[in-house]
Amino acid sequence: MNDATHSPPPDAAGLAAPRTRRQPRDQRRAQILRESIAFFSEHGFSGSTHDLARQIGVTQPLLFRYFDSKEDLFEAIFKAVFTDQWQEDWPRLIRDRSLPLRERLARFYRSYLGVIFNRDWMRLYIYAGLADVAINRRFFEMVEHQILRPLCAELRAEFHMVPPEAEPITNDELDYVWMFHGGIFYHGIRRCAFGTSSDHEINPAMLEVSIDTFVSAAPNAIARLLRPPSQEGYSP
Q: Is residue 133's pLDDT more than 90? A: no
84: three-class secondary structure by DSSP = coil
pLDDT tens profile 40-52: 999 998 889 999 9
CB atoms within 10 A of CB 207: 18
pLDDT tens profile 187-236: 888 877 776 655 567 888 989 999 999 999 999 999 999 986 655 454 45
For the chain, give every domain's residue range: 25-81, 86-226
Tell me how far CA of residue 202 lies from CA of 10, 69, 115, 183, 210, in angstroms: 64, 38, 13, 12, 11
Q: What are phi and psi of 146, to 5 degrees?
A: -100, -20
pLDDT, mean of residues 65-83? 93
Q: Is residue 90's pLDDT more than 70? A: yes
Specify whether domain 25-81 bears CATH 1.25.40. no
